[in-house]
Amino acid sequence: MTKQPFDRRIATGLDRGEAFTFSFDGKPVEAYPGESVAAALIAHGRRKFRDTLKREMPRGLYCGMGVCWECIMVIDGRAAVRACMTQAEPGMKVETQHGLGPPATMTGAP
Amino acid sequence: MNNADLAIVGAGPTGLSAALVAPRAGLKVWIFDDNALPGGQYFRQLPKQYRKTQKTVYDKEHGRAAELFTAIHHPNVTYLPNATVWENPDPGILAFAAGERSGRIEAKAILIACGASDRPVPFPGWTLPGVVTAGGLQNLVKGARVVPGERAVVAGNGPLLMVVAANLIRAGAEVAAVAEAAPAKARLWRNLPRLLHAPEIVKLAVNYRGLMAKAGAPYRCGETVIEARGGDELEEVVLAPIDTRGHIDRAKARTVACDTLVAGFGLNPSIEMYRLLGCEVTYNSYRGGWMPKRSEDLETSIPGIFAAGDGAGIGGVEFALIEGKLAGTVIARNLGALGERDAAIQAAPLRSRLERFRKFRVGLERVYAPPATWTELMTEDTVVCRCEDVSLGEVREREAQGFTSAFAIKGSTRMSMGRCQGRNCLPTLAALIAARDGVAVEQVDLPRGRPPARLVTIGDLLQEDLPAPVFPADPHLPRGEEVT
């Protein structure tokens, strides 16, 4: 018997419904309805979500509960959105945040 | 202005338990929660769109969770998800940001049930993608049924490490090492009689250990992570023996390759609400650090403001569920919705159950008592404030220039002034000052808590339906020529 390839999504006892895709830095990532952007990226094997302004250090999901703001990304043109608290949507445009994000994204609330 | 008898901040085990009791007694209750679904961390729910096709090990709390969730449907309850309480503009009034529903509420009583988050313990490489907290791992599993990698190291301090290891193993991941900093095994037998006050929890721990043994996941006590290494992502961690005083034997370090490090150093109560409201706090390292001072009735130093659950001192979910109910009962009595006698009858079994778990807690705290300090883990290059990218070296440099108080370090380095509003770095700042000055952490003067307690957008605040401000007569204008 061959070993099953490792799946970061636990499949047992769960029907996640129909998968859809959103874009991460221009490439498609699969997600399920209700899944957070962070969970979908991590299930896809992507861990680096941004790099920091001052020391340009890579960062990703850390606290996973909205406390630390480490997982912020540029989502649909808005900078500093927490990937762990944002539901993935079909067609969403998710980008790695470099520093503060592109100047054009710093427009305040939608 | 909205009005309520009771405003509950947090819809986790504590807040929901209180909301099972107080509205039934007739109180008009508002619940604010910053998540999309009720449950907090422990009872975190899967997306509503997911369908369960069979019962699994993840459903063992389904019954208790389902009962708790009924609380938000009571006709006396207004439940606001995705809502952030951020300011206390006047006594008894809370301001909250919740998109179009943003506003203020005047409440006769307030229950702070904000729970806890992972204790931040900086070590070299702890900011690398692939390093997650124990709470973060639990949330991925509970809220998405996702695990972050296939070869993990679990390290830190406390019983949650076993839960995390078990969850990784169940998901099919390899757990290369579990490093518990405390000499927990050596302390176990002496404390077993206390632990057996909660045999149901001891049984859980035995199950976790069995699962770990079967999977070949080595559980080592008296060992800590000292470094995480990698380029853009985690590639390996370095573990080393640590003694009870926090001294690390670096000569005996070993390196373990892995794609995931779950770092769980215990939990800290979320104290930002108490800081905002001005409640007196006290320090207890065994129960997570700072916590509000409380009366037997769970009332803080400010009359009418109550604190319960992990946010008032780490006790775990059983504590939270009982304290929530007790708080709901006491508040209903104080506001006249429940008679003295009825309240006493309802509170008595809760108090005795609390007493039983308190005895268990003492055993647990003795088994897992952490090293005296974690500051030895940090090097000059270690990031101590993630939001503002401040290293220990920068703090030391400012200290050498005379910026020595917590307030001066904050002001000169921006440590604790970033997006997390200090929630993820104030404990580190206090620990550094305490270690430097050779004083207890509780003697360190924290910078003042200021609004917003949690980050909110100006856009949310613009949604607030407030009366137009009344400006004082402008002294710079000639009398009678006020601008309207």
Sequence ranges of the domains in chain A:
20-98
pLDDT at A109 over 70: no
Position B93 pLDDT exceeds 50 = yes
Task: Identify the pLDDT of residue B24.
Answer: 97
Shortest alpha-carbon distance between residue B208 and chain A (Å):
19
pLDDT at res. B460: 87
Question: How much is the average pLDDT of B207-221?
Answer: 97
Distance from CA of B458 to the nearest CA of A (A): 7
| Domain span including residue B168 | 120-265
CATH number of domain containing B70? 3.50.50.60
Q: Name the residue of chain A whose CA is nearest to B129's CA.
A: A60
Whether pLDDT at B19 is above 80: yes
Query: Do the domain assignments include residue B367?
Result: no
Q: Which residues 109-168 in chain B show a CB within 8 A of chain A? A: 117-118, 127-133, 135-141, 143-150
Average pLDDT over residues B21-36: 97
pLDDT confidence bin for B480, thresholds 50/70/90: low
Contact A48 B129 (CB under 8 A): yes
Asked whether the bond before B467 is cis by omega within 30 degrees of 0, the reply is: no
Percent of chain A with pLDDT over 70: 91
Residues B221 and B172 occupy one common structural domain: yes
Domain match, B128 and B243 both: yes
Please indicate, yes or no, whether residues B97 and B143 belong to a single structural domain of this protein: no
* Domain boundary pick from B246, B265, B284: B265
User: What was the pLDDT predicted at A106?
Assistant: 63
Tell me whether residues A14 and B386 touch, CB distance under 8 A: no
- Average pLDDT for B120-148: 97
pTM over 0.90: yes
pLDDT of residue A107: 55
pLDDT level of residue B168 (50, 70, 90 thresholds): very high
- Whether residue B283 is contained in a domain is answered as yes
> Please, what is the average pLDDT of chain A?
92
Could you tell me if B159 and B261 lie in one domain? yes
- pLDDT tens digits for range A18-37: 999 999 999 999 999 999 99
Of the candidates B52, B135, B383, the beta carbon closest to that of A63 is on B135
Query: In terms of CATH architecture, what is A20-98?
Result: Roll (3.10)
Residues B24 and B142 in one domain: no
CB contact under 8 A, A34 and B148: no
Q: How large a percentage of chain B has pLDDT more than 70?
A: 97
For the question of an ipTM over 0.85, the answer is yes
Q: B175 lies in a domain?
A: yes
Residues of B in contact with A59 (CB under 8 A): 127, 129, 386
CA angle B53, B142, B110 (to 5 degrees): 125
Q: Are residues B300 and B231 in the same domain?
A: no
Q: Do B252 and B318 fall within a single domain?
A: no
Selection from B129, B121, B122, B125 nearest residue B148 by Cα: B129
Residues B188 and B153 in one domain: yes
Of A31-40, B39-48, B162-171, B473-482, the poorest mean pLDDT is in: B473-482
Chain A partners of B132 at a C-beta cutoff of 8 Å?
61-64
Helix axes B13-21, B62-69, angle to 10 degrees: 50
Q: For residue A2, what pLDDT band results from cuts at 50, 70 and 90?
A: low
Domain co-membership, B40 together with B84: yes
Type and span of the H or E element at A3: none
Choose from A49, A62, A71, A100 for mutation: most chain B CBs within 10 A: A62
Q: What is the pLDDT of residues B359-400, one digit of tens each?
A: 999 999 999 999 888 999 999 999 999 999 999 999 999 999
Show the beta-strand stretches assigned E in chain A: 14-15, 20-24, 27-31, 50-51, 58-59, 72-75, 78-82, 93-95, 97-98
B80 φ, ψ to 5°? -115, 100
Pair B272, B157 in one domain: no
Q: Which of B25, B37, B4, B40 is nearest to B321 (CA)?
A: B40
Residues B169 and B207 in one domain: yes
The DSSP 8-state label assigned to residue B370 in this structure reads P
Q: How confident is the model at residue A45 (pLDDT cuts 50, 70, 90)?
A: very high
Q: Measured between beta carbons, which residues in chain B are less than 8 angstroms from residue A106?
A: none
Longest dimension (CA), chain B: 86
Decide if pLDDT at A14 tops 70: yes
Neighbours of B71 (CB within 10 A): 26
